[in-house]
Amino acid sequence: MTHYIYLVRHGEHQDAEHGLADGPLSTRGRRQAELLADRLSGVPLDAVWHSPLVRAAETARAVAARLPAVAPQPSSLLFDCVPTGMTPETPAAFESFFGSVTEAEIDAGRAQMADAMAAFLVRRQGDVHELLITHNFVISWFVREVLDAPEWRWMTLNQAHCGLSVIAQKHGRPWTLVAHNDLAHLPFELRTGLTEVPPV
């Protein structure tokens, strides 16, 4: 018996090129979501959760349109957030990123991710398949948590729009990373959203 969690970054949104925080999916983002739905069509999903932000909600609706047996539900635990600040171990290359993040934002992000781990990384009965449509940093934190990597390592994990990561737990065993940022369902021209990682 295995509990699977499919972690997906939302599709590309229209306002991304203008530097705005949120917005509806672009034409490319809608196509990414449709192809993601095709990729997941053989998975017996028990639940679909998504961030309440527009770009994640629209991605979830696009998936549900092709998988009508599932009803997407918003979760505030999947909001975009920054789960840590600089630590003694964080490479100095990341200082400029954290310069624009307040202590209050970091405290809120840390609390949110602690609650998300407690809510989602729990053993369910039987075979379970859950889809979480969320944001780059949130997925990075899930993967870092499963790998038991140092906290700052979430900064070095990036996901493309509608990239698919999978974590799983068999009964009596720890969570494992099955796949990370799998883009096999997306043709080259739809592979967007990967950010440049500062040199370490």
pLDDT in tens, 132-181: 999 999 999 999 999 999 999 999 999 999 999 999 999 889 999 999 99
CA separation (Å) from 108 to 3, 34, 84, 112, 156?
Answer: 28, 33, 9, 6, 21
| Model confidence at 200: pLDDT above 60 | no
* Range list of β-strands (E), the chain: 2-9, 47-50, 73-74, 128-134, 164-170, 176-182
Answer with the residue of higher pLDDT: 16 or 160. Answer: 160
pLDDT, tens digit, 9 for 90 and up, residues 79-122: 999 999 998 999 999 999 998 899 999 999 999 999 999 999 99
DSSP single-letter state for residue 49: E
CA 177 to centroid of chain Cα atoms: 14
Confidence at residue 91, expressed as pLDDT on a 0 to 100 scale: 92
Confidence at residue 170, expressed as pLDDT on a 0 to 100 scale: 93
Whether the CB-CB separation of 66 and 34 falls below 8 Å is answered with yes
Indicate the angle between helix axes 27-40 and 54-66, nearest 10 degrees: 50
DSSP bridge partners of 131 = 6, 48
Which whole number is the average pLDDT over 176-197?
A: 91
| Model confidence at 196: pLDDT above 90 | no
pLDDT, tens digit, 9 for 90 and up, residues 45-87: 999 999 999 999 999 999 999 888 889 999 999 999 999 999 8
Confidence at residue 86, expressed as pLDDT on a 0 to 100 scale: 92
Confidence of residue 16 (pLDDT cuts 50, 70, 90): low
Q: Which two tokens stand for residue 81?
A: 């957030």
Confidence at residue 199, expressed as pLDDT on a 0 to 100 scale: 39
CA distance 102 to 42: 43
Can you list the domains of the chain with their CATH numbers?
2-182 (3.40.50.1240)
CA distance 81 to 105: 8
Confidence at residue 19, expressed as pLDDT on a 0 to 100 scale: 54
At 88, which helix (H) or strand (E)? none
Taking the complete model, does pTM exceed 0.85, yes or no? yes
Q: What share of the chain has pLDDT > 90, as a percent?
A: 80
Confidence at residue 198, expressed as pLDDT on a 0 to 100 scale: 45
Whether the CB-CB separation of 61 and 43 falls below 8 Å is answered with no
Confidence at residue 69, expressed as pLDDT on a 0 to 100 scale: 84
